[in-house]
């Protein structure tokens, strides 16, 4: 399933392709709060940019290790979100996964927590991540 929210011509924008993790444990989902930039103090699903030569899955495993010092496995594709921000056009590939090792250490976030699916709507989300929330609710 691809969710697309575009209001500006794609070809005029800087394009960024990223991956995001919907980390599950029992009946809860891990979310993190951004500690920098335009979206500081807003909640997101952790992840980051895909490097040249990496698969989406490899990029997500690396990004979660770099940002959170956690190891993840059982990656399962959830959705791709396309979102038109003011200064760039985002394509974000989202995967559900589980923690299989490591110790949580927030490096680019100032907070993190586990929430239920019912609690997802009560967070102040980075705009593109709202579409991930909708995909999670549709799947469950």
Asked if the structure places residue 21 within a domain, the reply is: yes
**Does residue 1 carry a pLDDT above 70?**
no
**Could you read off the pLDDT of 57-113 as tens digits, one per residue?**
999 999 999 999 999 999 999 999 999 998 899 999 999 999 999 999 999 999 999
How far is it, in rounded angstroms, from Cα 57 to Cα 73? 10
Q: Do residues 126 and 34 lie in contact, with contact meaning Cβ atoms separated by under 8 Å? A: yes
pLDDT of residue 13: 65
**Does residue 3 carry a pLDDT above 60?**
no
**Could you read off the pLDDT of 29-61 as tens digits, one per residue?**
999 999 988 899 999 999 999 999 999 999 999
Asked if the structure places residue 125 within a domain, the reply is: yes
Asked if the structure places residue 60 within a domain, the reply is: yes
- Structural domain boundaries, residue 72: 14-139
How far is it, in rounded angstroms, from Cα 123 to Cα 82? 21
Q: Torsions phi, psi of 106, nearest 5?
A: -75, 115
CATH number of the domain to which 23 belongs: 3.90.79.10
Q: Torsions phi, psi of 60, nearest 5?
A: -65, -45
Asked if the structure places residue 8 within a domain, the reply is: no
pTM, whole model, 2 decimals?
0.88
Asked if the structure places residue 113 within a domain, the reply is: yes
Asked if the structure places residue 7 within a domain, the reply is: no
Asked if the structure places residue 3 within a domain, the reply is: no
Total structural domains within the chain: 1
Q: How far is CA 32 from the centre of its chain?
A: 9
Asked if the structure places residue 20 within a domain, the reply is: yes
Q: Do residues 36 and 114 lie in contact, with contact meaning Cβ atoms separated by under 8 Å? A: no
């Amino acid at each position: 399933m691809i969710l697309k929210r575009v209001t500006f011509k794609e070809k005029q924008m800087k394009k960024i392709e990223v991956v995001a993790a919907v980390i599950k444990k029992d009946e809860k989902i891990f979310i993190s709060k951004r500690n920098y930039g335009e979206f500081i103090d807003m909640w997101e699903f952790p992840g980051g940019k895909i490097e040249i030569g990496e698969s989406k899955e490899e990029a997500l495993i690396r990004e979660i290790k770099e940002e959170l010092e956690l190891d993840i496995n059982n990656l399962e594709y959830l959705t791709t979100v396309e979102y038109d921000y003011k200064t760039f056009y985002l394509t974000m590939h989202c995967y559900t996964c589980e923690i299989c090792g490591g110790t949580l250490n927030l490096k680019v976030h100032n907070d993190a927590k586990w929430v239920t699916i019912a609690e997802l709507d009560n967070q102040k989300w980075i705009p593109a991540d709202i579409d991930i929330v909708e995909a999670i609710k549709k799947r469950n």
